[in-house]
Every structure is written in C-alpha cells, then in structure tokens.
Structure 1
Amino acid sequence: MAVKVNKAECIGCGACVSSCPFGALVIEEDKACITEACTACGACVDICPVSAIAREKEEKTVSIDKNEYKDVWVYIELAEGQAKNVAHELLGEGRKLAEAMGQKLAGVLIGDKVEPLAKDIFASGADTVYIVEGPEFKHYSTDGFTAVFSDLIHTYKPAVILMGATNDGRDLGPRVACRVGTGLTADCTSLGIDGETGLVAWTRPAFGGNIMATILCPDHRPQMGTVRPKVFKRPEQDFSRTGEMIRVKSTVEEKDIRTKLIDVVKVCTAACNLEEAEIIVSGGRGMGKPENFTLIEELAGVLGGAVGASRAAVDAGWKPHMHQVGQTGKTVGPKVYFACGISGAIQHMAGMSSSDIVIAINKDADAPIFKAADYGIVGDCLEVIPALIEEFKKIKEN
C-alpha cells in the first residue's frame, strides 16, 4: 500500500503535517507533499478534512516465472567432515514438504571429498544430492559458499530451501537470499503448507516469543528459511534408499575467497555442545551463585552430558552465552534434560520443550517447570544434586 495526495483537492491546511508521526509530510506551494520518510501508516488519511489523501494499492511486478522453480532443497552443513544433525532433521521435515507439494527432495553438499556422505543423505530421505567439491571448500567461507549456492539456485531453480539456524546457516542464508532476490524467514520453529495458496508456511516466534508469526513468500523464489537445530526429530534412516547424484563443477577460485583460515582453536568442549548432546544438565538462578555451577558441571560429567544454563544465569555472568538454552539461546532436544533451579519461564521452555524426558529440581513446588516435567524433585538443588551424583557414580561403578 502507498499513500497519495490528490493535488487538485488539497487545500493546504496543514492538518496532515502535524498528524504525521514520522514527519513525512510538508507543505510546498500550498499543497501537501509526501517525502521518502513515509511509512504508509495512514494517519494523514484519517485526518484530512477534504479527503485529499488516500491509500492506493501498488501493483507488484515480479519478473520471474514461478512455475520454473521446483523441488525442496536442504543445505547439508558439515562439521569435521560429517553432516550435522540439523541437516538430517531438515531432510526429515523436507521429505514431508516435498511429498505435500508433489516434488522431489534434494540435499546440497559443498565441501572437499564429500561424495561418500551422499549415502547418508539418501538414507535420510533425499531423492537427489547436488555435490560441489574442491579443496577451497574444506572449511566454510562466506564468499565461496555464497557464490556456489547462488550459482546452483540460478541453474537448477529450487522452489524451497531449508537451512539450519546455526552460526554458518545464519551467515549463509541471508547472503544467498539477497544474491538471488528473495526473502528469508529466520529461526523457524514449525513448517507446513498453506491450504489456500500451497505456499510453505514458515512459523517463527515474534515479539520476544510472545506470539507466533506465520510467514508466506508469494511473489519470489525460492522460498527460503532457517530452522533451529532440534526443533524436529531426526528421521529413521533407510540405507536401502538410493538416488541421483549431480556433480557440479564450481567456478569459484581461491582468489575469490577474501578470508583465509589460519588455525582452528576449540574453545568449547563436549560439555557445551548442546545441539548434539543426548543429556543436558541446565542450571538457573536457583543455583544461588556461580560457584555452585560446579555441581551442574560435575553431574553433567558423570552422565556424559552437556552443561546448559537459563537466561537469568547467563545474564548474571555465571555462564557464557554459548551455554544458554531458550528463546534467545539454543534450541535443544536431548533424550534427558535436567532443569536445576530453573523456574520454567515460557522463553526457556521454548528452547527445550522437545526433550524426550524432562527432570526438574526446584524448591518451589509451584514452579511452572514442573508442569512440563516428566519427573520432579521438590528440594534444594545444593542438596539434591550431590545425592544424584553419588547415586549415578555407584551405578556406573557397578
């Protein structure tokens, strides 16, 4: 929508100027004029005494033929030479979208000597795997991967692209979307097909998680979105499945990549690899002080799990942000999730609600976390956790 002034009817009273919250209206030669600051909010339309200002619907012109775009693509993100779990999770969800749309599912593998990984991609549901190989793709680079992915889209024209909302996915997704002239819905928590339009319905939290927004991309292709890890379950793999491998020669050269990887320094051990962990022990403000997080770490160590934290604990400086679980942290889905001293705010629940088993420890019997817990212990974490550690140690010894 746009706001227009009918110069013939405007009397230059200035009522619209004072009504505009953005200062987008001025009087020139006794007539109202709209500047580039206009947001089409319509405040001036309602205030004009002679109805000289009106909203007009702008005709959109899209030059692409949307019928040329087919199939659902999943970007296969790699870590240490293997596909990340989020890639398999998206293949499982992409399979559902592809079947609902009557199209094929494809995985996109970019890396160095990655062809052997194709069998895992087929096993997770892909019909086709696009493979781009080269030593320049051994490690992720913004320049190289953006150029390759954009070229693939221009050549093969996918209708839908799914990426993980990881560090690399959040870097690559927007850049590719900009290159190919489409939109991108970030951090989705649900995917579906809109019944009226047949478009992908991308659902994501908005306004701090207080509402869920469903977004459609009707005018541009491909439809793109990033999805948080652990939002969907990894599908059961069928290694009897096979498919078509399409090897694509890259036009990217090393000189096109402006950054050079000098060294890889691991600052995070398995204790904070939350997305891949099957057991997570998280602590909140109920732990009392940062020194008490040693109990969380010890319990996680005994169980072979990862250490998580609530936003309150992270904001207090008790743990780094890489440990945060929740709406503004990481979305996790372990087999077992311990919530120690965590009240259960809705923002935290959004990040761990897909856990198979939730065990809550809190001295407040009315804490919301107990409503989501499969097992609950009402008690002081500083007393309960040491007892659990001792019991688990005994079990392991036996």
Structure 2
Amino acid sequence: MSDVIRRDPRAEWIARNRLHPLHGTIAVGDDAEVRGPSGLLRKNPHKVGFIGPNGIKRIDRLKGNGAASGMGRRSSGPQEVQLPLHSVESPDFYIVVVPDLVGGRLTSQDKDILGQAHKIANGIKGEGAVVAVCFGESKEENYDTAGVDRLIHLEGEEYEGFSPEQRLAALVQVEASLQPKHWLFPDSVNGGTDLGSRLAARLGERPAVQAWQVTHETTVSRGASQSLDITRETPRILMLLEECADAIDETRHEAKALELDSVPRAIVQLQDQGQVAVDPNAIPLAEAEFILSAGNGIHNWDQFHDTAAALGATEGASRVAVDDGFMPRFRQVGATGTWVTARVYLAVGISGAIQHMQGIGQCDKVVAINTDAGCDMVKRAALSAIGDSEEILGELLKLAQEHRANKGEEGEQNAA
C-alpha cells in the first residue's frame, strides 16, 4: 500500500462548514491540519494560543469547559451542568414546607413554594434551612435541585390516601421538635389547604390564605374572588397560590434526611374508601392528569380507544385527526383547541405542529410514539418510542391488561 496520505476534500469541507448537519461528527482538534479549497493549510483563529495580526494571543476564558473542537464548534451532546451546592451546617431557624406531592412527585406549585421559603429565609437574620415534610410514597428524585435543605419523609400505611388526622399528629411533632419560623402549604384542592387549616386550628394561629406576594415582613393575599388584595403582617402559617415565587434553579441543596421521634398514632375518625371510579373521558381535557392523544399516525382507532380505556387515560387528538372526523372537536388539543396541563401526555402519531406544541407547553411529562425520530414531538418528549404506532400500542395494551389481571389476583388473595 502507498504511504501517501490522501486528503478527504469532503471531510475538510464539512469541517469548515459549521452549518452542515455532519459538522459535529468531524473531529477537528487543536493540532489537526485543515486545508482550504486551494490546498493551502488554513490557520485556526479559534485555537487557544493563536496570535492574531494585532499580536494578541487567544486565551481560553472557559477554562477548558468549552467545546472540544479547535474550530470553536459546539459540542454535539448536551453538557451536564453541576450547580453550586448550598449547604447549611447549623441552621439558626427552620422554615417548613408541606408539599402536596401529587403522584409522589413535587408539583410546579410545590417547587414555587420551596422557592418562596428561601425568599423568606433570606430576609431573616441568621442562616435558615428549608425543611420539606413528605407523606406516603415518594417518587421524587430531585429534592436537592428543588431547594430542600432537610427532608422529613414519613411513610407507612397510616399516611397513605386521605389521612389528615395522622398527618396532623406528625406536623405537631415537627412543631415541637423544630419550632419553625413559618409553615408553608399549597393553597390547593390536593390536600394542602385542608392540612394547613387543621394545623392553624391546632396551634391557634390565624393563617394567610390565597397568598401570592410574600416577604418576611408582609403578605399580600387575594380576596373577594380575587378582585382585591389584602395586605397584612406575615403570619407563621401561609397557604400559597401558584407562581407565588420563582422555583429554585441556580443552586442544589443537601436534602439531608431528618428523623422524627416516634409519632403517636392518631384516633382515626375518617375512613378512606379509595378513589371513586370515574370515566376518564368524562374529565375535561383542561383538567385531565393523563391524556392519550391521537394524530395522523393512528390507523386502528378501535385499538386506540381500547388502549385509552385500559390505561385510564383521557382521550385527546390533534387537529388533523379532528378535521378528518375521527375525533370530536372538543377533543382537540392545541392553541386552536384546548390548552392542557396533564402530568403525563402520551402523543401517538403526532408530529408536533406549532399550535399543538403550544397547547401542551404546561404538561409535565411528554411521551411520544412516532415513526419519525426527528419530528418536533420527539424532540419535546422526555421518552420516545420510534416505530409503528399499531405495534407499540398493541404491546402497551397487552401489558396494561396483564397488570390489571395481576392486580385483581392480588386483591382476591388479600381478601381470602
């Protein structure tokens, strides 16, 4: 074989063209030689140490954290950013947040309230720690980036479902142990308002409800059906609205576990009989927590309806599916239909038109099933399955039916 190194003009052209889709795959290091179309060696002005015509040497202001390429191109993959750690070794005081933790995860309102807790703590003299008290099963993995300095997690069958008496007993124990400066609850129908009211009555405090502008000194609450604002001195117990403050996004926190002394068993006078069975399609799209949405990629509509029923999901649709007559108009999701705020939005065969993407902007988790790996819906999704929708829905339907069958067998064994 010849020892002559042959040039690859196409690779060199791709390396020079930053807008080329394959530019990120061409490795061009600081020491690599790049020839121009005339065959002459090209100098790389982006190389660290390059001396320009003005005699100034190029320095690395990113301290080695920039793109690996000497051509100054951006890295082809996402870079994980390590947020600075905010630690509190010996807190002078505590601010306790009791999140709703719907589905075992922090809601956007919970995160806003954690941000509000830090805002209050910053206005009080001394170093404070924000404590989150969570009940029941927890699936949350990001307490640290949400702003939790200390975490009290109480789990067990006595805290499952609707258990206000037992949860109140635990909060009274937290009050005796930590003596927090403030208690913060979500003003919501998910349990925060009820639990905050019970604690206020037990402690003899006059809480602030519908609070939306809070400092360590004053609180502004909505009143008279949100037609006026009421300003008062900030009390110990606050029930806060959504978007009361910005969520924590620039620091990570320790989320150290705190252990409570044994919490006494409360005398339960309310029995939780479980959730009432509701037809998912009777829930308005704007209020649905789980939506299975169909687009132009659905060809077996009977299978789609069966899958939605097996998953317990509310049905939605793109404008194309509605215009073609496969779904009613009130099922349309998007800027020209219904804006949705589901915790899980499963889009099947929807490429992701701009109007549709606007309508699902507030959804927590988006899952996409599509044959096009480069469509906008797949880019937006947290999880994607690339393939034929009928095959994937068939497997999903099979798994859902098996899960329900196994759950039914376990219920019969427990009853026996």
Quick check: which one's strand share is greater? Answer: 1
Which of the five TM-score ranges fits, normalised by the shorter chain? 0.3 to 0.5
- Name the larger-Rg structure: 2
TM-score scaled by length of structure 1: 0.47
TM-score scaled by length of structure 2: 0.45
